[in-house]
Chain A
């Protein structure tokens, strides 16, 4: 893929807080024109990564580019932010402003603001324009933050746990809004630990665990290539060198070996029989299984 097609690129991006390495040597690429889900458990480093991309937090080492602009250059990063809409994890906006003032304030910074979208979302979200932000419920605050991000036509939409605090109906509306934004040409990059949301709308998944990228694949590839292999042996399973690039995880329970295969399933089945397996069962895996498997692997 041509470099211009990456809206987010990082190279060995690292963030340390004292002894804690929140993000480790992250090489991440997010392409334009797609919805990319950024999955990971709480504390995996998703928010820290997003903050580094936007210049809110500075990397300890490594580099990155946002819409082609280097994130370690304050001026360039500011230029990139003109074309990026961001919804932060806690969706806090200025408590002392009213909803209307908050919208007017945010609108003043962007040339790509769409008044018609603003009006539509105000109506759809049923936001009280005159009410102070501090008097809004968490759900309403989230809706306001979403309005401020979606009432534009940004090149890139970054959302950190966008559905947190929303009721099911609002989550549905949110997901539809994200799909619509992508259809209009915005790249969408959203972090979540709600696998069902990612599965529903994402084209591509990046999974972070303890600051490391453990999965970077399209959902189609996951559905097509990923398989659970249950390999049965007559006796104690022998040691088999499964190719690291093809295997997500290997776990043994008695005479049964459970393998999450990422690709080349046929070759792995052959290898299993070659190692003395008496049975091999192959089944499709869901994103949830992949997520839980990766999480369990590192616990």
Chain B
């Protein structure tokens, strides 16, 4: 039943994310019927149009916010609502509470990621009278998810560090900006190009916009593994902090 609780507490954020992403994808596909190809680039491939509308770095930033928001909630939020004593008096461990919330949130994040993966290849022929390869959707979805889980884990961590729900949400919104500020100051683009989340989520192709924007190289599994470890470390930190907190 902890699953049910975690779902009920996060479902409004999840449903909002699903609605936003679904409506956005539909808008892009419907708009493609009239606005593709754009007059200023009559030879633009449809795959590049889709990339620009869905997988470009700016879109990756928006997805990062969604991932961060899905990580919020938990015991600190319950403390504000006055339900933390009830939850903590149940015969379950705090680790179990954190794990359940993380797994439900991850499932929701994957669900949100699946929307463009499914919608774009399936609806492009119907709405845009174009075709888009499903394999490309899957690959871009995997790249989005690789950093998405890190942002999500960051949101989970903020949710236990800040008591106020709005404080945690504000911290979540500021996180990508703060990260990119540090990344820019430390000349990350030159020294650690793979550490640029939005470039990686976009396939590292943002400098060749005129191309087909199709991923031809294998996914960077090593980097994705490192990101998964970073996300796991953030969740482990969350668990340790939660175990020590008094409510």
Contact = CB atoms under 8 A, between A and B. Distances in A.
Interface of A: 51, 54-58, 74-75, 78-79, 81-82, 84, 86, 88-90, 92-97, 104-106, 108-110, 145
B91 A110 contact: yes
A207 to B, nearest CB: 23
Interface string B235-247: 0000000011011
Contacts of B247: 51, 56-57
B185 interface: no
B61 to A, nearest CB: 30
A56 B88 contact: yes
B84 interface: yes
29 contacts: A51-B246, A51-B247, A55-B88, A56-B84, A56-B89, A56-B247, A58-B244, A58-B246, A74-B93, A74-B243, A78-B92, A78-B93, A79-B91, A81-B90, A88-B85, A88-B86, A88-B89, A92-B86, A93-B83, A93-B86, A94-B83, A94-B86, A95-B83, A96-B9, A105-B4, A106-B90, A109-B1, A109-B91, A109-B92
Given A74-B243, A78-B93, A105-B5, A54 B88 contact: yes
Q: Which are the 4 A-B pairs with shortest beta-carbon distances?
A: A92-B82, A57-B246, A88-B85, A108-B1
Nearest to A88: B85
B85 A105 contact: no
Nearest to A145: B86
Interface of B: 1, 4-5, 8-9, 81-86, 88-94, 243-244, 246-247
Contacts of B4: 105
Given A56-B246, A57-B246, A109-B1, A92 B83 contact: yes
Contacts of B90: 81, 106, 109
Contacts of B5: 94, 105
A74 B98 CA distance: 15
Contact of B91 (A81, A90, A95): A81
A92 B91 contact: no
Given A82-B91, A109-B92, A97 B8 contact: yes
A105 B92 CA distance: 13
Contacts of A93: 83, 86
A81 B82 contact: no
A74 B94 CA distance: 9
A88 B90 CA distance: 12
Contacts of A94: 5, 8-9, 83, 86
Given A90-B82, A92-B82, A75 B91 contact: no
Nearest to A107: B1
Nearest to B89: A86
Contacts of B244: 58
Given A56-B246, A74-B94, A81-B89, 4 more contacts: A56-B84, A81-B90, A89-B85, A94-B83
Contact of B81 (A58, A95, A110, A145): A95
A103 to B, nearest CB: 11
Contacts of B243: 74
A172 B43 CA distance: 82
A55 to B, nearest CB: 7
A152 B194 CA distance: 56
Contact of A92 (B8, B9, B81, B94): B81
